[in-house]
Amino acid sequence: MAKRRFKLTEKQEKELNYCYSSSKEALLRTRCQAVRLYGEGYEVQQILNISGCSRTSLMEWVQKYQQAGVEGLQDHRLGGNSAKLSPEQQLELEERLRSYTPGQLFGPECHSPDGQFWTVADLQQLLQGWYGISYKSRSSYHNLFERCGFSYQRSSKLYNSRSEHKVADFMAILEKKLLDVVQKQPQTAIVAEDEASLYLQATTSAAWAPQGQTPLVRVHPGREKTCFYGSLELRTGQETVLQTDKMTSETTLQHLQQLLERYPDLPILLLWDRAKWHYGQPVRDFLKAQPRLQVLYFPPASPDLNPQEHVWKATRKAVSHHHLVQKLSDLVVQFLAHLTSTSFPSSFLETFGFSTLCPFFI
């Protein structure tokens, strides 16, 4: 048997793997896979079975790759991004997109007000300047963003009053507290609390619809609402919830008593924010009288740290987005039912490796 002379280098393997994973063209993916397997020493019949190609095609692809690299595997009958940027150029482009902002590269000539985030116009300017490339279709730029690991996302808000130093201090304090829990009271119920308001007026979100036909949702014109206290046990994903007309020190006490009754024989570590109804004198007196209920406050302007926020988001999506309920009382029933019957897993404690230190919750 003749010894196979074609053998891939580490760089070639990386190049073929990248082309395979980033391309959306089935034929190009098949060619990259087949050539890579051949270069890694797989038997020809195995490659034919895996890729579904013929022996003649396999040998032709290997020859083209040897002559022109990945570019030789491209289907030049097709337009699009893959025919204009080589895999090496795509890797270079991805690195530049991740390393720089439009403002850093183009200064006042960038196409967003602050130059912080990439736009199609910025990408168009970048490609024309660096590679002399432009596309006719806007979707080609979208596809190129996706190939570089970018997606179109709604921005999250970050409050100006947020202090990263205070966030770091909170995380350090919480880490120490969790270590104390592991060593001294491993059965502690660890809960994150927050409040939310529910209006009869439906909330809206994006939905698929025929082009040119904007989805319409009939909404109640008033501002009738109710409020909820919610506490998520971070290890079990179980929710403790209280519905109330308003949020005050008195209703806060009701929810704290609810938690004590929910976990009658366990210490409780409560994480909550700095809402004014958490600081009333009745609440302070109550906490002093309940030694098994310990409290840690989230840092100011940091709702993203609170896992209970994700519970509200999931429940709104399931119940109140686009709803057609005519009575607030009926909507409240659905909202409560979802909160109490659904498990809401949280990865918050995994930031501290808590499940490894304390894997059991009784």
* Maximum average pLDDT range among 150-164, 211-225, 276-290: 276-290
Residue bearing the bigger pLDDT, 213 or 116: 116
The proportion of the chain whose per-residue pLDDT surpasses 70, expressed as a percent, equals 88
Q: Which residues contact 299 (CB under 8 A, 6 or more apart)?
A: 162, 163, 166, 167, 169, 170, 305
The number of angstroms, rounded, from the C-alpha of 347 to the middle of its chain's C-alpha atoms is: 12
Supply the pLDDT for residue 256.
98
Supply the pLDDT for residue 284.
95
Supply the pLDDT for residue 241.
98
**HSE-up of residue 229 (Cα within 13 Å, Cβ side):** 25
* Maximum average pLDDT range among 7-11, 88-92, 244-248: 244-248
Q: How confident is the model at residue 248 (pLDDT cuts 50, 70, 90)?
A: very high
Supply the pLDDT for residue 57.
84
Q: What is the mean pLDDT of residues 228-238?
A: 96
Q: How confident is the model at residue 276 (pLDDT cuts 50, 70, 90)?
A: very high
Q: Which residue is associated with the tokens 């206290």?
A: 229
The number of angstroms, rounded, from the C-alpha of 208 to the middle of its chain's C-alpha atoms is: 21
Supply the pLDDT for residue 101.
87
Q: How many residues are given for the chain?
A: 362
Assess contact for 217 and 322: CB atoms under 8 A.
yes
Please determine, for residue 257, whether its predicted confidence score (pLDDT) is greater than 90.
yes
**Residue 194, beta-bridge partner list:** 230
Q: How confident is the model at residue 209 (pLDDT cuts 50, 70, 90)?
A: low
Q: From CA 274, how far away is CA 166, in angstroms rounded?
A: 13
Long-range contacts of 306-309 (CB under 8 A, 24+ apart): 306/192, 306/194, 306/271, 306/272, 306/273, 307/192, 307/232, 307/234, 307/344, 307/346, 307/348, 308/192, 308/193, 308/194, 308/230, 308/231, 308/232, 309/194
Supply the pLDDT for residue 251.
97
Supply the pLDDT for residue 70.
85
Q: What is the mean pLDDT of residues 321-348?
A: 90
Q: Which residue is associated with the tokens 């079990």?
A: 236
Neighbours of 23 (CB within 10 A): 21
Supply the pLDDT for residue 82.
43
Q: How confident is the model at residue 208 (pLDDT cuts 50, 70, 90)?
A: low
Supply the pLDDT for residue 247.
96
Supply the pLDDT for residue 221.
67
Please determine, for residue 78, whether its predicted confidence score (pLDDT) is greater than 60.
no
The number of angstroms, rounded, from the C-alpha of 191 to the middle of its chain's C-alpha atoms is: 22
Phi, psi of 241 (to 5 degrees): -135, 145
Q: In whole angstroms, how large is the CA radius of gyration of the chain? A: 29
pTM above 0.75, yes or no: no
Q: What is the mean pLDDT of residues 43-56?
A: 84
Supply the pLDDT for residue 111.
80
Q: From CA 210, how far away is CA 216, in angstroms rounded?
A: 12
Please determine, for residue 193, whether its predicted confidence score (pLDDT) is greater than 90.
yes
Please determine, for residue 41, whether its predicted confidence score (pLDDT) is greater than 90.
no
Strand order of the β-sheet with 225-233 is 239-244, 225-233, 189-199, 268-272, 293-297
Q: For residue 221, with 0-12 CB atoms within 10 Å meaning exposed, 13-18 middle and 19 or more buried, which class applies? A: exposed
Supply the pLDDT for residue 182.
86
Q: What is the mean pLDDT of residues 47-52?
A: 82
Phi, psi of 73 (to 5 degrees): -90, -10
H/E segment holding residue 294: strand 293-297
What does the pLDDT look like over 136-157, one tens digit per residue? 888 888 888 888 888 877 666 6
Q: From CA 89, how far away is CA 250, in angstroms rounded?
A: 63
29 to each of 41, 88, 288, 300, how far by Cα in Å? 19, 16, 65, 49
Strands 225-233, 189-199: pairing kind: antiparallel
The proportion of the chain whose per-residue pLDDT surpasses 90, expressed as a percent, equals 38
Q: Which domains does the chain have, with CATH numbers?
A: 10-78 (no CATH), 82-147 (no CATH), 164-205+218-357 (3.30.420.10)
Mean pLDDT rounded to a whole number for the chain: 85
